[in-house]
Structure 1
Amino acid sequence: MAQGTVGEVLVTLLERRGVEMVFGIPGVHIVELYRGLKASSIRHVTPRHEQGAGFMADGYARATGKPGICLLITGPGVTNAITAMAQARADSVPMLVISGVNPVATHGHEDGFLHELPDQSATMGSVAIWSHTLSRAEDLDRVVERAFTAMTQGRPGPVHIEIPTDVMAQRIEVPPPRAADPARRAVDAEHIAAAVAALGKAERPLILAGGGAVGAADDLVRLAERLDAPVITTTNGRGILGGHDLRVPASPSFPAVQDAMAQADVILAVGTQFGRTDYDVYDAGNLPKIACLIRVDCDPMQMTRGRVPDIPVLGDAGQAVARILVGLDGKAASNDGAAWAARLRAEAHGSLSASYKTSIAMIDTIREIIPGARIVGDSTQAVYAGNLYADIDQPRGWFNASTGYGALGYGAPAAIGACLGAPDTPVVCITGDGGLQFVLAELGTAMDELAPVIFVVWNNNGYQEIERYMEDNGIAPEGVRPSAPDFVAVAQAYGMEAEAIDGLEGFAAALDRAHKARAPRLIEIRID
């Protein structure tokens, strides 16, 4: 049989699993894993910082539905990526981080080797759903298999494989190809029957759709139509019913939406964690009682978190929704669902502040000027507004880091990853003057990769949301006005075309110019 180094065989195994792109920064502790990469079909993208690599992998995964892959050095390389891994875990995003680690014999001794951690695998295991040290080169194939299984067969999330530097160069046989097993956990027939029975009798059904429902979007639309049920989408589920009369693109934290949940006689929740940042963003602690909750989730542990269901449906969302749809064949519902959804949209939007309505108008402008654009956000005022209400026209068309872990600096690198993963879909990044400064150098990555992301910088001169929160709670604002650079000049220093506008009056025209350029562009919106 053919042989190769661990690094060469690793590249082969990744190719076999359909990996098209890796995000990483080479270093002496990992160069052996790069052996064979240049001659492969896998594209390597070099960010400016390992956190950027993690966020790019996250954006790639959300845009494509495939795992995002990082290749990082031991020590500071992996610890720099922990923030991105924590965001991926909170939002159930599949990410594989492959790193180096010092030779096996040095582990646990703390003899002062370069990039040494007391226990790197344990450090990574605090955020990864699975972390493994490849102590024996011949175990590489099954370890990679376990990593992909962990990422894709249960609740998705980040996994980590570390390879000691003395193992990387060892030669092993290239394992024979084998068929991948894409099967997800099969749903239980009794649970499906119970869900069908409850929904079949429902007179006022409601559907909650989270990020885990994205892969079941088409069948979920048909199920909503059969039930005549409004569909409330969380941040990561936004766009599943884009443009449909039954859509409710509003946060479940709205009082009007919570009232609707209390009025429903049966609620079907698909792929949603019932996390506080979606369902109780104001931390009011007054989530409504639910008469009958059917919950579809691929993770049995997740069923015990948030809201415990009356009827659990454990398994893949796509399988579950499809089988429920078949079970309800022939049901003719007339529940005035479209009228109910229209009232919810109006009540939710009407309860927003004037400043948030301005932000949402900007998001609407993006959709009008660039139909079908994917909008990737950072933690910034305009994105907070959109998470409360944004009428997105497609699944995977809106995601950001303002829910779950809530990392700052996510937007720009995640947008680059999304753009590279799905280059036929236009990408607009909404980021703030504070958040962009966390990852400002990644503008250079966009130029290197010719990723035509439009970076929209919402410049309100600091951390305005935090400043207002401090004022509202009687705290003298401090530390909320960091100075910003000339963003246009910085972008131009990387060779990127850029312009600044005052307020939103000229935004549509600037956006149109940027879109027609088909190249990385930056638009700074200066907010008074």
Structure 2
Amino acid sequence: MAIKVYERILELFEAEGINTIFGIPDPNFVHLFLTAEQRGWNVVAPHHEESAGFMAEGVSRMTGKPAVAIGTLGPGIANLAGSIMCAKVENSPIIFLGGQRDRITEQRVRRGRIQFVQQSGLIENSVKYSASIEYADQVDEIIREGIRQAVSGRPGPVYIEYPQHVIHEELELPPVLPPHRYRLVGQTAGPDKIAEAVQYIRAAKQPVLLVGHGVHTSRAGAAVKELADLMAVPVIQTSGGTSYIEGLEDRTFPYGFSPSSIDAVVNSDLCLAIGTELGEPVHFGRWRHWVANEANRKWVLVEQDPSAIGVNRPIDVPLVGDLRAIVPQLVEALRDTPRTATPDLQRWIDEDAARLADLAETAPSGQSPVHPARLIVEATQAFPPEGIMVRDGGATTIFGWTYSQAKPHDVIWNQNFGHLGTGLPYAVGASVADGGKRPVMLVTGDSSFQFQIAELETAARLNLPLVCVVGVDYQWGLEVGVYKRTFGHGSLETGVHWSKNVRLDKVAEGFGCYGEYVERDEDIAPAIKRAYASGKPGVIHVAVDPKANSEEMPSYDEFRTWYAEGQQ
């Protein structure tokens, strides 16, 4: 039976378990959108294509699979550009489909063409693969190569163009192939390397497990939990790997921001690193907290990209392949010889619990506007334990690293690229992937929140269980702090302040959401509960102290070591 090109594209994606698409339809894509909805897909049209890319990334992080975003020709692709670059730096396997006019338009020597630009050349440096479906019979090979490139080695985005002249072409093709027939799936490490890694693990006296962003995005938490139990080790989170694995909450310590993490790292004689690039936020695994005991510490790295081995630091045992396949190999090899935890592990657990309790007790309270540390404490104490946590913002996120009282199993934020404004579309995408079953909380600052604020309507249209807790100081808080540290208090602060009559709760109501204004500590948690109970997406506008938000960021000195140019 003959099949249209757009129908075949959907079939190819369905073979990969993809069933959600984000974008604003245009003549290139209306047939694909309509057919996708008829086939039972989630078809979500946001208010900006950049949001479409971020929403797709939210889906990918929650499913462990590639996701799809679409941009119409010209302006739509331009709008996607920020999310394409973000996906590249965040290592997110997003398939970006771009519309384009008939190729005859591109080949004409003409000026003043409407809604036209040669898109591929503008995008190719931000993606792993760029191609165009020029002929109907190319559809299988190009879509498959796009998926292959997106998920192989270091994951990342790809761009596939869909010129208008192929929209309605028909072709006859056999049924689509399952993934394992055309790309490498579940690559394991060699048994010799597994045996070598296990030998180091058994010999170690103070091993640590360094868990990164990739453990969450691959949905490999359960297997890593088994491994951590067999190794009887502390789990050190990278700044990107801040999702807590169920069952390991008490012995998971954020690197650099918990004294327990520092003590465990300093005293470690083996580091098993999983799902991390060993980037600047962990000082490349060889600077700052890693310097002590470096001569005696062995490194085992689970890494999908063979070209990454040994780049940021020397590695003793590289385990190259899919961590979803390699971690079970390690589990099986260690199952009959589990380690016994050292007394230090319980001490670190107790000390970290005491630290969090002390922060909750000592965070400044009783002032109006609210101190940002108290905002984090109150909001995260009210976080539903089964919920999905999304972060955004500068100063707000820095306060969150230190003061958060929640240990969510799913945390999504833009750590590598630091792209502000991702929070709301990430939250929408994550909730769409979840089917709207679990409550979602976005904790953000007002600067970041306003980037994509129109997506409140998207959340309301989809009736998502989302509450946005927004710390409002009417300024770019992080940048105000930079002015003060650079030029001194009382200096001019150009371009970082705005009108103080903005009410984000009222904006939310205008979009059909629940809104509430808060300026006292004790009102934060009740407002969050009322927002969830409303049955609508909610926005809690929390007035925070602008002076504290710009001057009292906790652990700021630790954060700045990520940027210690020339020292790492």
More deviation in 12-21 or 408-417? Answer: 12-21
Determine the C-alpha separation between the residues in 2 that align with 1:345 and 1:268: 24
Distance in 2 between the 1:143 and 1:444 partners? 35
Distance 1:240 1:248 in 2: 7
Q: Please, which of 387, 394, 397 is the counterpart of residue 383 of structure 1?
A: 397
**Partner residue of 1:223?**
227
| Contact 2:101-2:164 within 8 A present in 1 as well | yes
Aligned partner of 1:408 in structure 2 is 420
CA distance in 2, matches of 1:127, 1:110: 28
- Conserved 8 A contact 1:250-1:388: no
Q: Which residue of 1 aligns with 2:367?
A: none
Q: Which residue of structure 1 lines up, in the alignment, with residue 464 of structure 2?
A: 451
- Deviation digits for residues 82-137 of structure 1 (CA, Å, limit 9, x no counterpart): 2212222222222111111232244475744333334x223222221222111222
Question: Counterpart of 1:441?
Answer: 454
Provide closer, same or farther for how the CA distance between residues 343 and 497 of structure 1 changes in structure 2, counting only shifts above 3 A.
Answer: closer
In structure 2, the partner of 1:418 is 430
Output the CA distance in 1 between the equivalents of 2:163 and 2:106: 10
Residue by residue over 1:17-45, the C-alpha shift from the partner in whole angstroms, topping out at 9 and shown as x without a partner, is: 32221100012354454463342221211
Structure 1 residue 57: Cα displacement: 0.8
**What are the within-5 Å matches in structure 2 for residues 351-390 of structure 1?**
357-367=373-383, 370-388=384-402, 390=404
Of 480, 483, 490, 2:499 maps to 483
In structure 2, distance between residues paired with 1:142 and 1:179:
14
Which shifted more, 240-249 or 69-78?
A: 240-249
Check 1:386–1:307 CA distance in 2 against 1; reply closer, same or farther (3 A cut). farther
Structure 2 unaligned spans of 5+:
365-370, 546-568
- Within the alignment, does 1:240 sit opposite 2:244 as a pair? yes
User: What is the CA–CA distance in structure 2 between the aligned matches of 1:295 and 1:260, rounded to whole Å?
Assistant: 18
Question: What whole-Å deviation, never above 9, does each CA across 1:289-345 have from its counterpart, x for those lacking one?
Answer: 342111111111232443332211111112222222222222332312232344356
Whole-angstrom distance in 2 between the partners of 1:463 and 1:522: 19
Q: What corresponds to 1:322 in structure 2?
A: 328
The amino acid of 2:448's aligned partner reads G
Cα pair distance change 1:245/1:95, threshold 3 Å: closer
Q: Who is 2:282 aligned against? A: 279
Q: Is 2:511 aligned against 1:511?
A: no
Cα shift readout 1:129-163 (whole Å, capped 9, x = no counterpart) = 22211122201012112222222343322111111
Shift of the alpha carbon at 1:407?
Answer: 0.8
Is 1:56–1:414's contact at 8 Å kept on the other side of the alignment?
yes
Aligned partner of 2:346 among 334, 338, 349: 338
SS in 1 for 2:522: coil
Measured in 2, the distance between the counterparts of 1:42 and 1:483 equals: 42
Residue type of the partner of 2:317? I
Percent identity, please: 27
Task: Quote the offset at 1:241 in angstroms.
Answer: 3.4
- Structure 1 residue 250 and structure 2 residue 266: aligned? no
* Alpha carbons of structure 1 residues 512 and 38: separation in structure 2 relative to 1, 3 Å: closer
Matched residue SS, 1:53: helix
Name the structure 1 match of 2:485. 472
Classify 1:3/1:142 alpha carbon distance in 2 versus 1 (closer, same or farther; 3 Å). same
- Closer, same or farther in 2 for the Cα pair 1:243/1:178, shift >3 Å? closer
Q: Which residue of 2 aligns with 1:522?
A: 539
Tell me the distance in 1 between the aligned counterparts of 2:189 and 2:514.
51
Contact 1:30 1:72 in 2 (8 A): no
- After superposition, the CA RMSD in angstroms is 2.7
Quote the offset at 1:499 in angstroms. Answer: 0.8
Deviations 1:201-225 (A, max 9, x none): 0001111001212333222222222
Alignment check: 8 A CA contact 1:229 1:246 kept: no
Q: Which residue of 2 aligns with 1:140?
A: 139
> What letter is aligned with 1:187?
A
Q: What is the match of residue 313 of structure 1?
A: 319
Greater shift after overlay, 77-86 or 292-301?
Answer: 77-86
**Distance in 1 between the 2:74 and 2:475 partners?**
32
Match of 2:115 in 1: 115
Q: Partner letter of residue 307 of structure 2? A: M
Contact 1:273 1:305 in 2 (8 A): no
The answer to whether structure 1 residue 295 and structure 2 residue 301 are counterparts is: yes
Aligned pairs, number: 519
How far has the Cα of 1:392 moved from its partner? Answer: 4.6
Name the CA distance, whole Å, in 2 between partners of 1:107 and 1:42.
33
Q: What is the CA distance between 1:179 and its match in structure 2?
A: 2.4
Task: Report the residue type matching 2:521 in the other structure.
Answer: L
Q: TM-score, normalised by structure 1?
A: 0.90
CA distance in 2, matches of 1:314, 1:389: 36
Q: How does 1:263-274 map to 2 (within 5 A)?
A: 263-274=267-278
Letter in 2 for 1:421: A
Q: 1:243 to 1:224 in 2, by over 3 A?
A: closer
Residue type of the alignment partner of 2:255: S
When the two structures are superposed, what TM-score results if normalisation uses the length of structure 2? 0.84
**Partner secondary structure for residue 340 of structure 2:** coil
Kindly indicate whether the alpha-carbon contact (under 8 Å) linking 1:379 and 1:400 is maintained by their aligned counterparts in 2: no
- Letter of the structure 2 residue corresponding to residue 308 of structure 1: P
Q: Which moved more, 1:53-62 or 1:349-358?
A: 349-358
* Higher mean displacement: 89-98 or 420-429: 89-98
- The question of whether the paired residues in 1 share the 8 Å contact of 2:206 and 2:270 is answered with yes
Per-residue CA deviation, residues 483-505 of structure 1 (Å, 9 max, x unaligned), is: 36321221111221211110432
For structure 1, list consecutive stretches of 5 or more residues without a partner in the other structure: none
27 and 452 in structure 1: CA distance in 2 versus 1, 3 angstrom threshold: same
Between the aligned partners of 1:432 and 1:110, the Cα distance in structure 2 is 47
Which deviates the most, 411-420 or 63-72? Answer: 63-72
8 Å Cα contact 1:503-1:527 kept in structure 2: no
User: 1:482, CA displacement in angstroms?
Assistant: 2.8
Q: Deviations over 1:38-66 (max 9, x none)?
A: 42221211100001111111112212223
